[in-house]
Amino acid sequence: MPKLLPNEHSIQSEPVDGGLETLEGLLHYIFKDKGLLIEALTHRSYFHESPGKSCAYNERFEFLGDAVLGMAITDILFRENASLSEAEMSKLKSYLVSREILAQLALEMNIGQYIRLGKGEELTGGRKKNSLIANTLEAIIGAVYLDSDYVVVKNVIMHLYAPTINKAINQHHPYDYKTTLQELSQTLFATLPEYRLVSETGDDHNKTFVYEVCLNAQPLATGTGKSKKTAQINAACAALQTLHKKENLI
């Protein structure tokens, strides 16, 4: 695959100077073919606006990275956590490969600053869009796989994910709070929880949501998050804590 050269006349739409080396340091991986990394960082908006400066964009890499990530996470959970059941591994995997977690990891790595974007996407805050940076991280994982092999990319993923995996397990699977609340409310009250949007603030690419969870139309708890899903999960977590104390379940 040919290497792609940065566009020296459009600094804002290119990885920052020295950015590739910094990004490789965050990944704990040095690319043999830098062109693979640059292609993984190339958004379709850049490709369409500057067709002569890029021969491809990162959506194929994203597709590959999604598959590699799913396999690696499954492998890690199976080998590193023998006490997990099939159901627990399935739920954990769904949580760990979700756009929400990918975006969180990408944000921590500040991946947005390295992406090659078209001017339109740049002006609409593309570097801060959760879906865009999450997709880019998947593309980078695909590029690492193409540049090395499965064992190497699995180690990269383990490095990126270790704190998140440990936190999820130690906090008793935060991804399952909504299901647990649903099952508990059916058992105790023969009803299902209802989630209501209380407020949303911030720019389109950086919103904060507040949800309340209700039982029998009565507010039980609230939760805040950078996505609706996160806010609802946090509300469910708070509701479980309230129920545990109220019903002496702990």
User: What are the binding residues for Mg(2+)?
Assistant: 62, 135, 138
* pLDDT value, residue 123: 82
Binning pLDDT at 50, 70 and 90, where does residue 109 land? very high
Structure tokens at 54: 């890029």
* pLDDT value, residue 175: 57
Q: How is 78-123 classified by DSSP, letter by letter?
A: HHH-TT--HHHHHHHHHHHTSHHHHHHHHHHTTGGGG-B--HHHHH
* pLDDT value, residue 12: 40
Please give the Cα distance from 89 to 92 (Å, whole number).
Answer: 5
User: What are the binding residues?
Assistant: 62, 135, 138
**131 touches 207 (CB < 8 A):** no
- Is residue 139 over pLDDT 90? yes
- Is residue 6 over pLDDT 60? no
Catalytic residue among 33, 66, 75, 100: 66
Told to judge if 33 belongs to the known catalytic residues of this protein, a careful annotator would answer: no
- Is residue 54 over pLDDT 80? no
Task: Please give the share of the chain, as a percent, with pLDDT higher than 70.
Answer: 86
What's the mean pLDDT when you consider all of the chain?
84
Residues paired with residue 240 on neighbouring β-strands, in sequence order: none
* pLDDT value, residue 247: 56
Binning pLDDT at 50, 70 and 90, where does residue 3 land? very low
Q: What is the pLDDT of residues 23-43, one digit of tens each?
A: 999 999 999 999 999 999 999
Mean pLDDT of 123-141: 90
Please give the Cα distance from 248 to 11 (Å, whole number).
Answer: 60
- Is residue 16 over pLDDT 50? no
Structure tokens at 87: 């159901």
- Is residue 82 over pLDDT 90? no
Residue 245, C-beta contacts closer than 8 angstroms, at least 6 positions apart: none
**221 touches 242 (CB < 8 A):** yes
- Is residue 17 over pLDDT 70? no
Q: What is the pLDDT of residues 176-190, one digit of tens each?
A: 788 888 888 888 888
Question: Beta-carbon neighbour count of residue 83 at 10 Å?
Answer: 6
Catalytic residue among 14, 121, 122, 138: 138
* pLDDT value, residue 95: 81
